Copies of this chain bind each other. A is one copy, B any other.
């Protein structure tokens, strides 16, 4: 077995363990078991647990972005819907919350978290930016504040309140936002 396929098998196993059994279960030993490789092999590639966490998480930062159509509300809704799916299906919420928790004590993870958040919301940010530039959103809009408001409301419901996000919730959050800032 070549180096790359072993690495991938380990990373796949790490993600599986992370999602199914939680962060605390993500040990070299457990990952080796699930990946079907020797324990020493996991240590060889990732001597530190935090690096394994980092690499396992990094591959999760993939939000499907739709092409903007020019319809502001429609584009925003599509993007928020993509984020909703990410939170629901790919369990980005769990990863995010685990990162937020560990990042306080493991500085390496703070950067992973920052990237995770910023990449996950980059398309949304672009849409809002364009909306302001084209005069369809209030110029006084605080971009970071708006992102925190939109994403925060969704993440909070999904991860803190344990609600499964519905399309209606997303629309409500968006329409409240637009009621305030759309021109």
* Chain A residues within CB distance 8 Å of chain B: 21-24, 94, 96-98, 100-105, 110, 113, 117, 142, 144-145, 148-149, 151-157, 159-162, 169, 172-173, 176, 179-180
Contact = CB atoms under 8 A, between A and B. Distances in A.
Contacts of A154: 152
Query: This chain: how many copies in the complex?
Result: 2
Given A142-B172, A149-B153, 7 more contacts: A96-B160, A110-B162, A113-B160, A152-B152, A152-B155, A152-B157, A179-B180
B98 A161 contact: no
B149 A173 contact: yes
Nearest to A161: B148
Interface of A is mostly: helix
Nearest to A91: B104
B98 A94 contact: no
A176 B160 contact: no
A60 B153 CA distance: 24
Contact of A100 (B22, B104, B149, B159): B159
A-B complex: 5 closest residue pairs judged by Cβ atoms: A152-B156, A152-B152, A22-B105, A152-B153, A149-B153
A24 B24 contact: yes
